[in-house]
């Protein structure tokens, strides 16, 4: 028989205001096995924990029930306290009488009754608890970063600087991400490439960092400290060890009509190409969909041009398998497609552009060489209208419900840069709200208004229509309470941003959470912002939610710290609450193997002694280091052979019985 102590926490008034804690303490003494009960204002405090420890020692307790907040908050606290005075930590159970009881009830009598029932269930469980010993597993001292934008680069650099190996997997031929496409960055207006490319070069040159560019993560198995990832290196049709990045092939290539992704399709590139001058790694890549050799079997000009003999039309995709201790997701974002926003005429009118396209137009390496020329007739626009919140903060199917966060600032930046360089240009910004929280952000926006004379109009644009070579913009000016019409030369839409389409696939692959907008979910919105709910998986950058560059870099470094903290350990403690198969009951049906999301179950042929009858049977065997204790197998098992340690079927049934008593 167990000797159980029950401890009821007031949680200040959080619990005590709705639950009569004294009554719960008294009721506990009537439960089987309970030899001691107490209540205290803050059980989690040092003196509260002292109460628990003293009782364990003085009353010789073999089990503890703490009626308090969610086990997510303080289960670890009380288990540690129990362990410190020699009690197995898995003999401690928490009855959640705060989130599950006091916070959701108003009536004291009802709240108390429910608290007693929850206490009773926990006591029933502890009566069947057994001491569990956690195993250890080794940590592979290498991290995987998925995505090579500024978030991935910063995370990788920080991890590498701490002395651990890092692999960056980037699906594009070069790292750099969206930041490489930007012209200037707010609020300091420094050149984006000038601050990013040194980091790209640092990452490539670092002896601890390996970059798999033009590669994708195919699958991931394993668990924290010991993941195995399959990485598919897509065929470049150019040998990386030979290509010098001279670019001669790109000049000779006769197929030159493919929209240039780096310039948002506003000019074209050759079939064999280097994404941009500062690309890292700087190797050419052949786009087989555009290459004449792949389409007709002829041409071969690049192969003949290349002195280094790097072109290899027969190259095949390659799959690499690598082991990692931690994985960081840094898959970033894209600007939404504007096909469904007919009112702005983006698809019909070349002079209606997105802000990212304007970013390329303003850039010296862009399609116009940095001159502000409108796409249709390459003339300088005299009147420019910016439209904010295009697809953000809406509820239509084509809208995103969230604020994209970066648009107010980059629009102020664009407006300011245009007025600085071309003072004869009139610039209008239609806004719903101007949101500029951030260091020096409000000052930046006010400068656009006060110093650069940008016209900010409170209202939204309802329609953009082509009219005699101009764009007629119908907007509202809510402060004037009027509809206004502007004949503009160029309209720039601040389109919403959304997580990259790979985020959903990767979240599924890593069995980590994703929200309704496909942003990856952090373990706690305030206190664990860079960890996912899955151990060993961390989040960096916009894949977790909209962010600007300063925030992305901060979060990237934070994610790196978490990774370093994990990789610094030689071994990590495993969860002992894992599945166990009863070899006498197992009928070898494979149901559990099929449902196991971690691949922890295998079948072995083993000699068993079934009541004196010895025979070799096919039975399930659980790899305790791989099992995450999800319990899927216990439900799938038709013969009741699978059980979860710490959550056995017997324990669960005892809890249900205690509740129904």
Partner 1 sequence: MDLSEQAENIKRISGVDTKKCLRCGKCTASCPNYEDMEYHPHQFVYFIENGYLDRLLKSDAAFRCMTCFACVERCPRDVKPAKLIEAVRLTLVRQKDSNRLKPYDIIENLNADLPQQAIVSAMRKYTK
Q: Which residues bind partner 1 (CB under 8 A)?
A: 343, 389, 393-396, 399, 432, 458-463, 474-478, 481, 483
Cβ distance to partner 1 smaller for residue 387 or 627: 387
Q: How near is the Cβ of 371 to partner 1 at its closest, in Å?
A: 31
Q: How far apart are the C-alpha atoms of 456 and 445, rounded to whole Å?
A: 10
Which of 160, 156, 69 has the alpha carbon at shortest distance from 118?
69
Cβ distance to partner 1 smaller for residue 394 or 529: 394
* H or E segment to which residue 554 belongs: helix 549-567
Cβ distance to partner 1 smaller for residue 477 or 657: 477
Cβ distance to partner 1 smaller for residue 194 or 478: 478
Q: How near is the Cβ of 435 to partner 1 at its closest, in Å?
A: 13
Q: How near is the Cβ of 340 to partner 1 at its closest, in Å?
A: 11
- Are 287 and 253 in contact by the 8 Å Cβ rule? The answer is no
Q: How near is the Cβ of 11 to partner 1 at its closest, in Å?
A: 35
Q: How near is the Cβ of 477 to partner 1 at its closest, in Å?
A: 8
Q: How near is the Cβ of 393 to partner 1 at its closest, in Å?
A: 6
**Measured distance between the N- and C-terminal CA atoms of the chain, rounded to whole angstroms:** 20
Q: Which residue has the tokens 């009741």?
A: 640
Percent helix, strand, coil in the chain, to 5, is: 30, 25, 45
Which of 37, 106, 97 has the alpha carbon at shortest distance from 70?
97
Cβ distance to partner 1 smaller for residue 296 or 395: 395
SS3 450: helix
- Are 464 and 343 in contact by the 8 Å Cβ rule? The answer is yes
Q: How many CB atoms lie within 10 A of CB 280?
A: 27
Cβ distance to partner 1 smaller for residue 252 or 458: 458
**Burial group, residue 531, by CB count within 10 angstroms (0-12, 13-18, 19+):** buried
Q: How near is the Cβ of 481 to partner 1 at its closest, in Å?
A: 8
Instruction: Give CA 449 to chain center in angstroms.
Output: 36
**Burial group, residue 285, by CB count within 10 angstroms (0-12, 13-18, 19+):** buried
For the chain, the farthest-separated pair of C-alpha atoms sits apart, in whole angstroms, at 98
Cβ distance to partner 1 smaller for residue 483 or 573: 483
Alpha helix positions (H), 85-174? 108-126, 150-161
* Residue 180, CA atoms < 13 Å, CB-side half-sphere: 27
What are residue 226's DSSP bridge partners? 223
Q: How near is the Cβ of 436 to partner 1 at its closest, in Å?
A: 18
Which of 240, 229, 223 has the alpha carbon at shortest distance from 323?
229
Q: How far apart are the C-alpha atoms of 356 and 29, rounded to whole Å?
A: 68
Q: How near is the Cβ of 65 to partner 1 at its closest, in Å?
A: 46
Phi, psi of 332 (to 5 degrees): 70, -155
Q: How near is the Cβ of 463 to partner 1 at its closest, in Å?
A: 6
Cβ distance to partner 1 smaller for residue 324 or 428: 428
Q: How near is the Cβ of 433 to partner 1 at its closest, in Å?
A: 9
Cβ distance to partner 1 smaller for residue 386 or 444: 386
The region, left, alpha or beta by phi > 0 then psi within -120 to 50, assigned to residue 199 is alpha
Contacts for 564 with CB less than 8 Å, ≥ 6 apart:
158, 159, 162, 164
Q: How near is the Cβ of 352 to partner 1 at its closest, in Å?
A: 16
Which of 398, 386, 405 has the alpha carbon at shortest distance from 497?
405
Return the DSSP state at 90. Answer: G
Three-state helix/strand/coil letters over 509-530: HCCCCECCCCCECEEECCCEEE
Cβ distance to partner 1 smaller for residue 202 or 399: 399
Q: How far apart are the C-alpha atoms of 128 and 654, rounded to whole Å?
A: 8
Cβ distance to partner 1 smaller for residue 332 or 475: 475
* H or E segment to which residue 637 belongs: none
The structure tokens listed for 388 are 């904010």
Q: How near is the Cβ of 432 to partner 1 at its closest, in Å?
A: 4
Cβ distance to partner 1 smaller for residue 165 or 498: 498
Cβ distance to partner 1 smaller for residue 266 or 465: 465
């Amino acid at each position: 028989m167990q000797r159980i102590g029950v401890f009821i926490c007031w949680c200040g008034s959080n619990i005590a205001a709705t639950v009569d804690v004294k009554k719960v303490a008294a009721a506990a003494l009537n439960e089987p096995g309970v030899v001691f009960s107490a209540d205290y204002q803050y059980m989690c405090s040092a003196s509260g924990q002292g109460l628990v420890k003293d009782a364990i020692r003085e009353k010789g307790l073999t089990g503890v029930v703490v009626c308090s907040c969610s086990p997510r908050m303080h289960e670890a606290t009380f288990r540690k306290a129990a362990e410190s005075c020699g009690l197995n930590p898995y003999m401690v159970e928490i009855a959640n009488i705060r989130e599950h009881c006091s916070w959701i009830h108003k009536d004291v009598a009802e709240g108390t009754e429910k608290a007693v029932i929850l206490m009773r269930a926990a006591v029933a469980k502890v009566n069947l608890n057994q001491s569990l010993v956690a195993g250890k597993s080794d940590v592979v001292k290498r991290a995987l970063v998925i995505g090579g934008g500024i978030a991935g680069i910063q995370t990788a650099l920080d991890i590498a600087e701490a002395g651990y190996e890092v692999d960056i997997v980037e699906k594009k031929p070069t790292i750099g991400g969206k930041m490489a496409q930007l012209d200037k960055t707010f609020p300091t207006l420094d050149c984006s490439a000038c601050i990013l490319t040194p980091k790209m070069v640092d990452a490539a040159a670092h002896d601890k960092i390996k970059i798999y560019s033009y590669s994708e993560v195919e699958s991931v198995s394993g668990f924290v400290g010991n993941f195995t990832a399959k990485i598919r290196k897509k065929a470049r049709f150019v040998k990386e060890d030979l290509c010098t990045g001279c670019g001669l092939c790109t000049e000779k290539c006769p197929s030159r009509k493919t929209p240039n992704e780096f310039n948002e399709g506003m000019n074209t590139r050759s079939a064999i190409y280097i994404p941009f001058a500062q690309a890292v790694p700087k190797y050419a890549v052949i786009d087989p969909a555009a290459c004449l050799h792949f389409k007709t079997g002829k041409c071969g000009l690049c192969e003949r041009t290349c002195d280094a003999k790097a072109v290899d039309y027969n190259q095949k995709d390659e799959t690499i398998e690598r082991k990692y201790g931690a994985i960081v997701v840094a898959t970033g974002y894209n600007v939404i497609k504007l096909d469904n926003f007919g009112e702005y005429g983006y698809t019909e009118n070349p002079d209606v552009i997105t802000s990212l396209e304007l970013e390329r137009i303003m850039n010296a390496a862009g399609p116009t060489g940095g001159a502000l020329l409108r796409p249709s007739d390459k003339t300088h626009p005299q009147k420019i209208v910016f439209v904010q919140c295009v697809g953000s903060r809406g509820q239509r199917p084509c809208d995103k419900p969230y604020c994209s966060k970066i648009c107010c600032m980059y629009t102020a930046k664009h407006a300011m840069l245009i007025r600085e360089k071309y003072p004869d240009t009139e610039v209008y910004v239609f806004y719903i709200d101007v949101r500029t929280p951030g260091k020096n952000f409000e000052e930046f926006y006010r400068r656009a208004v006060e110093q650069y004379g940008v016209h900010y109009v409170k209202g939204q644009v309802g329609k953009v229509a082509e009219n005699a070579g101009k764009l007629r913009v119908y907007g509202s000016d809510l402060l004037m309470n009027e509809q206004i019409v502007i004949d503009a030369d160029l309209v720039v839409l601040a389109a919403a941003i959304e997580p990259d389409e790979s985020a959903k696939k990767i979240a599924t692959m890593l069995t980590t959470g994703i929200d309704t907008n496909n942003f990856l979910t952090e373990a706690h919105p305030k206190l664990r912002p860079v960890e996912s709910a899955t151990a060993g998986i961390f989040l960096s950058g916009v894949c977790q939610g909209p962010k600007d560059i300063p925030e992305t870099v901060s979060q990237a470094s934070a994610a790196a710290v978490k990774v370093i903290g994990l990789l610094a350990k030689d071994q990590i403690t495993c969860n002992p609450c894992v599945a166990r198969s009863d070899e006498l009951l197992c009928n070898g049906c494979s149901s559990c193997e099929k449902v196991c999301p971690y691949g922890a179950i295998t079948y072995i042929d083993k000699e068993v002694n079934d009541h004196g009858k010895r025979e070799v049977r096919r039975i399930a065997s659980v790899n305790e280091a791989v099992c995450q204790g999800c319990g899927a197998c216990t439900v799938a098992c038709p013969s009741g052979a699978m059980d979860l340690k710490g959550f056995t079927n017997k324990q669960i049934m005892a809890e249900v019985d205690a509740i129904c008593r």
